[in-house]
Amino acid sequence: MSDINENKSKKSTKNPVIDVRGVSKHFATVSPVRDACFQIQQGEFVTLLGPSGSGKSTLLGLIAGFEQPSEGTISLEGQELTDLSEDELALLRRRLVGFVFQAFHLIPTLSALENVAFPLYPVKMSGQERRERAGNLLDKIGLGNRADHLPSRLSGGEHQRVAIARALVNEPDIIFCDEPTGNLDSATGKEILNLLTDLNREQGVTIFMVTHDQEIAKLSDRSLFMHDGEVTTS
């Protein structure tokens, strides 16, 4: 009972975990994001839908702090990104955020285990601790027996699961996903989705996911839509 109440109070907290205010991005000839305004509360699973080219990936890159907005402000857990230096931004991302992209970006010369452990290298911990943490995660996602494999020896679904384990190894509060099941067959896509929704439900991890899959949108708490650079709730 108290757990449920605690969850509720977390979801209704006044300080959103993601706060996007008046955000635009202009390139020379296009403005893929125009005056985006929305908030996401801790523990929400929100999907961002919209046709190809509508600006979804650009918006995600702005919120994740990979790119600077031309106008407006973005805050993660109350910290305004534009106030931060490059180093501070990197630290915030490492502490707070995990990313799962459509392209897996595993490092081809490192084993599955080393790929998962990779984000922990700047963190002060022993090599043994790092390997243990990465190994536990691989076990959890059913890839314990693939720990020593190079990415070239993994299937598409296994790749993506390793990428997800890597996104989780810092125990992030927020996970950003850009069409995380886009390159996968439907069974593997479902597995990946289950993994993410479990994290959301069981650990209260906030998920912001770009997708064009209506079925995934139905699983989320709510959806935002993008049309020609504009974000709407319907």
Near ligand ADP by CB under 6 A: residue from 7, 24, 41, 57: 57
Regarding 103 and contact with ligand ADP (CB under 6 A), the answer is no
Segment lying near ligand ADP (by CB under 6 A), choices 2-10, 51-59, 94-102, 168-176: 51-59
34 near ligand ADP, judged by CB under 6 A: no
Does residue number 50 form part of the binding site for ligand ADP (CB under 6 A)?
Answer: yes
In whole angstroms, give the CA distance from residue 213 to residue 134: 30
Which of the choices ligand ADP, Mg ion, none does residue 32 contact, using the CB cut-off of 5 to 8 A by kind? ligand ADP
Q: Is 181 in the site for ligand ADP (CB under 6 A)?
A: no
Q: 112: closest CA among 153, 74, 68?
A: 153
Residues recorded for the chain: 234
* Nearest CA-CA partner of 209 in 176, 231, 185, 233: 176
How many helices, marked H, and strands, marked E, lie in the chain? 8, 10
Long-range contacts of 191-196 (CB under 8 A, 24+ apart): 191/157, 191/161, 192/157, 192/160, 192/161, 192/164, 193/219, 195/141, 195/161, 195/164, 196/100, 196/164
Instruction: Using CB under 6 A, pick the residue from 16, 32, 72, 172 that binds ligand ADP.
Output: 32
**Does the footprint of ligand ADP cover residue 102 (CB under 6 A)?**
no
Interface mask (CB under 5 A) for Mg ion, residues 56-75, using x and -? -x------------------
Residues that bind ligand ADP (CB under 6 A): 27, 30, 32, 50, 52-58
